[in-house]
Amino acid sequence: MDLGLTDRVYVLTGASRGLGHATAECLVADGARVVLSARDADAVAAAAQRLGGPERAVGVAADLTDPETPERLVAAARNHFGRLDGALVSVGGPPPGSAASVTDEQWRRSFETVFLGTVRAVRTIATALAEGDGGAIGLVLSTSVRSPLPGLGISNGLRPGLAGMAKDVADEYGPRGVRVLGLLPGRIMTDRNVELFAATGDPERARAEAEAGIPLRRIGAPAEFGRVAAFVLSPAASYLTGVTVPVDGGALRGL
């Protein structure tokens, strides 16, 4: 199936590695061009080079806590590639700990990055897409949107709110051709999950226990998430908006 991605342009945040980079790889493989952003200038430049360099990918060192970042990314897409067709908004996971044990400062800092940074990016990019021919925005959230995860209290608090925000923006911008969706990765073998397994003190046992709770009995690969994300961002998914899509090997028990 042709996803219709040839020469379309997407902005991806947090994309020097992990799920953002895996999605960028899938988009570029199907003919799209991408603007990658991350806080580490060297890492994002290297990531863009791996994807084919300036003809296919450019890197922008940026932090979503900076109010000017979304406008910079929109401008980069238009200046380098002449258009913007969508975005994947991903931010790093908040610190672990139960909701009652993390500090006010950890809540405050996570709200600024995970929540407000995402809201600002979605608002800015949706407005830019509405000024053109529409497009799609995907938010990398978590299965904590639907079911709280032990030891990840901040994620349990903030991610469901972002899913609600995405639905609200999807309703508002849908008439102008803009689609907004949430993606709910489960256990995917990114650096984040490696760290969470390591934090248990027995990463092999932690991985085995996690796999036992997944119907497919394995941890997902980043590319498996990337392919789903590339599809929902593509014109092939043109009638899909305002929903959350789990990519979790069947771990969520709700229908």
Is residue 212 a contact partner of residue 246, using CB atoms and an 8 Å limit?
Answer: no
Regions of the chain with pLDDT less than 50: none
Whose CA is closest to 31, among 11, 52, 12, 14?
A: 52
Kindly list the domain boundaries of the chain, sorted by start residue.
Answer: 9-247
3-state secondary structure of 79: helix
According to the model, what pLDDT value does residue 1 have? 84
Gyration radius of the chain over CA positions: 17
pTM, two decimal places = 0.95
Whose CA is closest to 184, among 160, 167, 165?
A: 160
- The rounded distance, in Å, linking the Cα atoms of 188 and 227 is 13
- Class (C level, CATH) for 9-247: alpha beta
